[in-house]
Amino acid sequence: MRFSKIHIFICLVVAASSGADRRATLVGRAKLAEQAERYEDMAAFMKEVCDMGGMLQQEERNLLSVAYKNVIGPLRRALRITNSVQQKTADERKLKTIAEYKKGLEGKIKQVCDEVQEILIQLIKGAKVEADKSAYDRETAEKLEESHVFFLKMQGDYYRYEAEIEEKINGPVADKALNSYNSAIDAGPTLKPTHPMRLGLALNFLTFYYEIMNNPEKVCELAINAFNGAIAELDTLNEDSYKDSTLIMQLIRDNITLWNCDNGKDSDREG
């Protein structure tokens, strides 16, 4: 059977429309799942959106981030509590039970991290291809750069979560996290020091160096540079990002105080 060019064109238009409708439906379901606090459902919906291909809009990438953050957050908290109980337990039989439960939690955390990394590989590749193109106006180019940084930062975060299990300062997962964070910094050369994305990246990078790398000197150096750099360009803040930027700046300032960076000393707080 032969089809005319018009028939083929109509089929393509219908298919594209159907895909757009499906995407909108999934995003709507993800929002509903968020309201219902069904974060595993939310993550599944957003994973399907990512599997459809194409660049994620800002709302979509935020939904993806929120979904998986709320999936892995309770698991990380449970593991911290389990570690605390383990340290306070002397009974050998109880320790065996705790170790088995801990192993199960670590397996679930790694499973979530692996799933997120699989999604991010494609998103980062697509974001880089788009960001490298030069045929964009300035506003579009900045948004693409921001998207690229967002995904690399998220990649670093999920390697960091996995590195919490690895518990090795120079382990392979910690190295992957370090590379992702550094790549995120390199991918955002035009982001201003006051940009929420750049400040958020700095904050998470600080956490990585403090909790995973156990390097208080580097933590203080990064924290002070990020805070002072933002302070120096406060006049560049726009109304849309003012609240987010100043909130992150305050968190960085709080960490500088907590870690005694002003005095060149580290605090006694455990990471």
- Could you report the per-residue pLDDT of 154-204, keeping only the tens digit for each? 999 999 999 999 877 778 999 999 999 999 999 988 899 999 999 999 999
Give me the helix-helix angle, 39-51 and 92-132, nearest 10°: 30
> Which regions of the chain are under pLDDT 70?
1-19, 131-136, 263-271
pLDDT tens per residue across span 238-256: 888 889 999 999 999 999 9
pTM recorded for the entire structure: 0.86
pLDDT for residue 168: 72
CA 261 from centroid of its chain's CA atoms: 26
Q: What is the mean pLDDT of the chain?
A: 88
Please give the pLDDT value at position 106.
Answer: 96
CA–CA gap between residue 210 and residue 203 (Å, rounded): 11
Residue type, 50: C
Quote the pLDDT of residue 166: 84
pLDDT at 136: 66
Q: CA separation (Å) from 92 to 8, 78, 102, 134, 259?
A: 70, 21, 15, 63, 37
